[in-house]
A and B are shown apart, each in its own frame.
Chain A
Amino acid sequence: MARRSVTKAHKKIQELSWEPTFVTKDPKYKTDYKLTKGGQKDAMKQVMQSYFPMQEEKDHRVYGAIDGAIRGNMWRQVQPRWMEWQKLFLSIIPFPEISAARAMPLLTEALPNPEIHNGLAFQMIDEVRHSTIQMNLKREYMRNYIDPAGFDITERAFSNNYAGTIGRQFGEGFITGDAITACNIYLQVIAETAFTNTLFVAMPSEAAANGDYLLPTVFLSVQSDESRHMNNGYGTLLMALAHDENKDLIERDMRYAWWNNHAVVDAAIGTFIDYGSKDRRKDRESYAEMWRRWVYDDYYRSYLVPLEKYGLTVPHDLVEEAWDRIWNKWYVHNTAQFFATGWFANYWRIDPMTEEDFEWFEHKYPGWYDRFGKWWEHYRDLSEPNGHKPIAFENTGYVYPCRCWTCMVPCMQREDTVLDYVDGEWRTYCSETCHWTDKVAFREEYNGRPTPAMGRLTGKREWETLYHGWDLEDVFKDLGYVRNDGKTLVPQPHVHFDDSKMWTLDHVRGIEFQSPRVLINEMSDEERDKWYEDYKKGFTINNTL
């Protein structure tokens, strides 16, 4: 369809909407924002008759590439270190994608703008596309990569794993509670406009450098849909900005959404890019460099800051704080260290770091070796079973972290950890902002105004609670992270494909697992004060085991 006729067609389909008169429309999904009818246009002028053939053509390219990868046996050159992290990433990402599809009616119900509703419909089916195209990519990995264990249990593992849960709250943030908070600010304005750049652009380039050109094929095709979604989000945001009384809610939601997206996405994608790569060219970008380019410059400076012309205060302090966590507080490196400490609870392998890796990290992140080098040497020394326990249960000096109640990422910036008694229990938070999110933002009232549409934080939010006091062997069996021989573990702290080097249930039997949250709540006030003081001081890694 020619561009001129798309414009005409788009104008024509606006005739389809009408105001019901037989019923008083009762929106199924609500918002506390004030919104008035009309206002913003769909600048993309989306029409079904141009959309479906265009998407079909994009699919042909994706599936042609998949055929090519299989015929050309791409897996002869993929890096196992990289592919193993895909067991985690590709178990998580289809759920946020499908949640984005499910989120669209929050806005079609709450937002009085039929032209934008039309744009949202395209986004809905785009997201169904993304979810199933990613599930299919994973299926190809399972069928063609040397070690399918972990891919074969993918959605079960996603559902019962501590890291899967962190990713899941990212997707759940789109679909529940206030329609504008969830679908517009959290999903469209922050997740899609800011963080899909690192998810779907930065990560594919790293995949390609590790011999995997299918992930770029699929995810760049996915990313080509995102501009439509950002457009939907911007129009909706401008409708909200039209009313001064929305400003405190927008500012609340931007603070929550920005910080939560940073906490979750930077932890995961930063680890995949910095620790999942074998490409150690000094001139290839680190995650911090990518973040500075894609998120700080392209998003914060070019998109977020200009919103201030509408009288809004954007969360400058939290953008700077996120950068500070990434650059000065070792956020990604603390995360990778935790992932590797917790390998016993994973469903993917984590390759030890080598001298070449150390050199690259020191080059990209000066001071890295002093902080993390010794621990990664311990990890490498303990990677093959040899009469010792998994590294988390050996005396390296590392202190297993408590978990943030809000973002559910462990409290790894020890000095920033907040402890508070909330809703009848002691909770820990990774930061002041996550503490505020639980205690202030997700409540029935905000700044003295009722917020009846706001969602609630629910669920068993500390994974370790589920297994407090369990034998580690039983934890594995309950999770289902045992290979089909009935004894070898799915996760391994290495990428050796040799039974003699693989950990089994025999190696983890007799180890008791404990929950920091349960222990903290069982402590006396004096014990808890002491624990908190010590925790904030951090830890020192022992030179020898």
Chain B
Amino acid sequence: MSELRPVTEAGGRGERSIPKIILTDAEAGAAKFAGSDSRSYNYFEPKGRRATKYEDVTVDVQPDPKRWLSQSWLYGWPNGDLGYDPRWTRMQTTNWHRFRDPNEEWERTIYINNANSVRQIQNSIENAKSENVFQDWNKSWLPILAKHLSAWAHADHGLGMYVFMPAQRAGMTNMHNNAISVNCMHKLRTAQDIMLYNLELTELFPGEFDGEVHQEVWLNDPAWQGVRENVERLMNATDWVQLCFASNIVFEPLVGELFRSGFIMRFAPAHNDFLTPSVIGVSEREFNDRDLTYTVEMMKDFLGDETHGEANKEVMEEWLAEWVPYSIAAARGLEPIWSEPEIQPVSFEQSFERARNRFEAILSDLGLRVPEEVTL
């Protein structure tokens, strides 16, 4: 480069010292030389014709001794496991790095989407308060929200903090782990959305809304013990793919959607409560649009592997045999709560049938079957 000279003298004001501004002409295209046109990351295969921003900021940030990591992992576990060990799941693959999160979650999407969810809920509540819609609510509905909607927050909290949180440590690529970490935050945020909604209702209905009864319900109400058992068993499982599978392919469609769509969102309007469906609908949409979508894509990647696909299918069907009974028990355990509200627009069997059909459609999409010995 030619001699560079500052365009201003760095005198500052009086005694102040400031850096010199120097025009270096170091912008793209200022000179042509070997490599000066190489302006995309060239160490991975994009899924499409050109790498997306999501791929650019995600792929290979977690390295792999099977790719470029020539010195391997530098810290190991006392039992001999590697820093990231492929034996942490029973899934096998010829290429861990094939998976892409269909939601393309990275920093900006995480904050934009979750902030929008927060705003949607807060705006809904504020609008409802300004219109004082609560005066039209059927008061018999309040204990249902206090007990059951609020009890569900524990399930979301358990899944977020003790299922998806550890799962995002264990995946073999950054693509897997980032997708799981976003799922983790959806669950934790939803749990807190529900708790803060509970707080609003406690303040709106002083003396009528029991803001703390949900803890007793979650721990001791027989209707909820199946759900709690399912969540606690997930909290103790270790295989990170199994955790995603058993949570999002089995538990959420059979239990989560059953409760959110099949109960809360169906029953609330009948009690003149049009607010709660828009609050809980946020997490329903997040599960359906995002968390289920990435999980299905992840499972399809394992199932479609040319070498290990069949073996992976067998393992997933073993997981179905293990986890479907817990989730069916959890779902059926909830049946009594369908009888509690004053107005009952749908029966448990109608809601459960819908959930079961939904579950079977997801399995059909994946090409999986529930083992015959398992009763749906």
Binding site for B on A (CB under 8 A): 8-9, 12-13, 15-18, 20-23, 25-26, 28-29, 47-49, 52-53, 55-56, 59, 63, 73, 75-80, 83, 94-95, 98, 101-106, 108-109, 117-118, 121, 124-125, 128-129, 131-133, 135-136, 139, 142-149, 152-156, 158-160, 165, 168-169, 172-173, 175-177, 208-211, 278-279, 281, 283-284, 408, 444, 452-461, 463, 466, 480, 483-485, 487-488, 490, 495-499, 502
A168 to B188, CA, bound (A): 30
A145 touches which one: B28, B110, B211 (CB < 8 A)? B28
Which of A8, A124, A458 has a CB less than 8 Å from the CB of B181?
A124
Q: 10 closest Cβ contacts across the A-B interface?
A: A483-B35, A149-B35, A159-B68, A488-B34, A135-B57, A155-B60, A156-B43, A458-B76, A75-B27, A209-B19
Which residues between 87 and 140 of chain B lie within 8 Å of chain A, taking CB atoms? 106-108, 110-112, 114-115, 117-119, 121-122
With A176-B77, A211-B21 known to touch, is A145 a contact of B161 (CB < 8 Å)?
no
Residues of chain B from 135 to 161 with CB closer than 8 A to chain A in the complex = 153-154, 157, 160-161
Selected from B38, B58, B199, the residue in CB contact (under 8 A) with A484 is: B38
Q: How far is the CB of A327 from chain B (nearest CB, A)?
A: 23
| Contact mask for chain B residues 185-202; partner A; CB cutoff 8 A; 1 contact, 0 none | 100110111011011000
Contact between chains at A18 and B75 (CB < 8 Å): no
A139 to B55, CA, bound (A): 11
Partner of B235, one of A23, A143, A146, A159: A23
Bound Cα distance from A8 to B192, whole angstroms: 12
Query: Using Cβ atoms and an 8 Å threshold, which residues of chain A touch B356?
Result: none
Set B21, B71, B193: member contacting A460, Cβ < 8 A: B71
Q: Is the CB of A155 within 8 A of B154?
A: no
A79 touches B26 (CB 8 A): yes
Bound CA–CA A527/B26 (angstroms): 51
Q: Is the CB of B34 within 8 A of A484?
A: yes
- Interchain CA distance A147-B33 in the complex, whole Å: 9
CB nearest neighbor in B for A101: B181
B286 proximity list for chain A (CB < 8 A): none
How distant is the Cα of A172 from the Cα of B121 in the complex, in angstroms? 39
| Contacting pair A279 B19 (CB below 8 A) | yes
Give chain B residues whose Cβ lies under 8 Å from the Cβ of A455.
75-78
Give 1 or 0 for each of B235-261: 1 = CB within 8 Å of chain A CB: 110100000000000000000000000
In the complex, B375 has a CB within 8 A of chain A: no
A169→B219 contact, CB < 8 A: no
**In the complex, A176 Cα to B79 Cα: how many Å?**
12
Given A98-B174, A142-B39, A455-B78, A48 and B219 contact (CB-CB distance below 8 Å): no
CB-based contact B58/A75 at 8 Å = no
A104 touches B110 (CB 8 A): no
Nearest B residue to A451 via CB reads: B78
- Mask of B23-60 contacts with A, CB within 8 angstroms, 1/0: 11111111101111111111110000000010011111
Flag if B1 contacts A495 (CB, 8 Å).
Answer: yes
Min distance, Cβ A93 to any Cβ of chain B, angstroms: 10
Among candidates A105, A460, A485, residue contacting B34 with C-beta atoms closer than 8 Å: A485
Question: Given A22-B233, A109-B166, are A63 and B108 also a contact pair (CB < 8 Å)?
Answer: yes
B168 adjacent to A459 (CB under 8 Å) = no
Chain B residues with Cβ below 8 Å from A75 are 26-28
A48 near B192 with CB under 8 A, answer yes
Q: Does B20 contact A (CB under 8 A)?
A: yes
Given known contacts A104-B165, A109-B162, A498-B33, what 12 new A-B pairs fall within 8 Å (CB)? A48-B118, A49-B192, A53-B119, A55-B111, A75-B28, A128-B181, A136-B106, A148-B38, A160-B71, A458-B73, A460-B70, A499-B34
| Chain B, residue nearest A129 (CB) | B107
Asked if B68 and A456 sit within 8 Å, CB to CB, the answer is no
Q: Are B31 and A146 in contact (CB under 8 A)?
A: yes
B218 contacts chain A at the CB level, 8 A cutoff: yes
Measured in the bound complex, the distance between the Cα atoms of B38 and A88 in whole Å is 17
Instruction: Evaluate whether A283 and B26 lie within 8 angstroms (CB atoms) in the complex, with A168-B63, A455-B75 already known.
Output: no
Interface residue B67 (Cβ < 8 Å from any Cβ of A): yes
CB of B301 within 8 A of chain A? no
B70 lies within 8 A of A160 (CB): yes
Does B353 touch A at the CB level, under 8 Å? Answer: no
Note all chain B residues with C-beta closer than 8 A to A106.
169
Residue pair B236, A23 in contact (C-beta under 8 Å) = yes
Show 10 residue pairs from A and B whose CB-CB distance is below 8 angstroms, ordered by the A residue.
Answer: A9-B196, A76-B26, A95-B63, A98-B177, A105-B166, A118-B161, A128-B182, A136-B107, A279-B20, A466-B71
A497/B38 in contact, CB under 8 A? no
What residues of chain B lie closer than 8 Å to A118, measured between beta carbons?
161, 188
> Do A456 and B31 have beta carbons less than 8 Å apart?
no
* CB pair B59 A155 closer than 8 Å: yes
Is there an interface contact between A169 and B74, defined as CB atoms closer than 8 Å?
yes
Does B215 have its Cβ within 8 Å of any Cβ on chain A?
yes
Q: Which partner residue on chain B sits nearest A156 by CB separation?
A: B43
Is B61 in contact with A135, judged by CB distance below 8 angstroms? yes
For the complex formed, measure the closest distance between the CB of B145 and the CB atoms of chain A, giving whole angstroms. Answer: 15
Q: Are A152 and B38 in contact (CB under 8 A)?
A: yes
Contact of A498 with B31 at beta-carbon distance under 8 Å, contacts A98-B62, A128-B178 already known: yes
For the complex, is B69 an interface residue (Cβ under 8 Å from A)?
yes
Instruction: Output the nearest chain A residue to B226 by Cβ-Cβ distance.
Output: A22
**Cβ-neighbour of A121 out of B31, B122, B188, B233 (below 8 A):** B188
A56 smallest CB distance to B (angstroms): 4
Q: Is B10 interfacial (CB-CB < 8 Å)?
A: yes
- Bound together, the chains give a CA A124 to CA B162 distance in angstroms of 13
Q: Please state if A176 and B83 are interface contacts (CB–CB under 8 Å).
A: yes
Q: Could you say which residues of chain A place their CB within 8 Å of the CB of B122?
A: 49
Query: What residues on A are CB-neighbors of B36 within 8 Å?
Result: 146-149, 497
Q: Which of A23, A49, A132, A499 sits near B118, CB closer than 8 Å?
A: A49
List of A residues within 8 angstroms of B214 by Cβ: 15
Once A23-B236, A145-B26 are accepted as A-B contacts, the answer to whether A177 and B78 lie under 8 Å apart by CB is yes
Indicate if B223 sits at the interface (CB-CB under 8 A): no
Q: Which residues of chain B are within 8 angstroms of A281 by Cβ–Cβ distance?
A: 10, 17, 19
Q: Which residues of A contact B228 (CB under 8 A)?
A: 22
Which residues of B have CB within 8 Å of A105? 165-166, 168-169
> Are the CB atoms of A147 and B35 closer together than 8 Å?
yes
B112 touches A56 (CB 8 A): yes
CB neighbours (8 Å) of B115 from chain A are 52-53, 55-56
How distant is B362 from chain A, measured CB to nearest CB, in Å?
26
Q: Is the CB of A121 within 8 A of B165?
A: yes
A173 to B83, CA, bound (A): 10
Chain B residues, Cβ within 8 Å of A466: 70-71
A12 touches B184 (CB 8 A): no
Cβ of B72 within 8 Å of any chain A Cβ, yes or no, is: yes
Q: Does B337 contact A (CB under 8 A)?
A: no
Most A C-beta atoms less than 10 A away, residue of B61, B110, B122: B61
Asked if B107 and A488 make an inter-chain contact with CB atoms under 8 angstroms apart, the answer reads no
Contact A152:B75 (CB < 8 A) given known A125-B110, A129-B107, A490-B35: no
Minimum distance in angstroms from B274 CB to a CB of chain A: 21
Assembled-state Cα–Cα distance A77/B22 (Å): 6
Asked if B162 and A108 sit within 8 Å, CB to CB, the answer is yes
B32 vs chain A, min Cβ distance (A): 8
List, in ascending order, chain A residues with CB within 8 A of B191's CB.
13, 16
Closest chain A residue to B178 by CB distance?
A: A128
With a cutoff of 8 Å between Cβ atoms, the chain B residues found around residue A95 in the complex are 61-63
Closest to B31 in A: A497
Q: How far is the CA of A146 from the CA of B37 in the complex (A)?
A: 9
User: Is B232 interfacial (CB-CB < 8 Å)?
Assistant: yes
Given A175-B169, A283-B17, decide whether A79 and B22 contact each other with a Cβ distance below 8 A. Answer: yes
In the bound complex, how far is the Cα of B159 from the Cα of A457, in angstroms? 33
| B82 contacts chain A at the CB level, 8 A cutoff | yes
Of the candidates B22, B37, B165, the one having the most CB atoms from chain A within 10 angstroms of its own CB is B165
Q: Is B210 an interface residue (CB 8 A)?
A: no
Binary contact readout B7-23 vs A (1 if CB under 8 angstroms, 0 otherwise): 00010000001011111
Report A-chain residues with C-beta under 8 Å of the C-beta of B24: 76-80, 211
User: Could you say which residues of chain A place their CB within 8 Å of the CB of B26?
Assistant: 75-80, 83, 145-146
Contacts known (A15-B195, A108-B166, A211-B24); A457 close to B75, Cβ less than 8 A: yes
CA distance A313 to B21 in the complex (A): 48
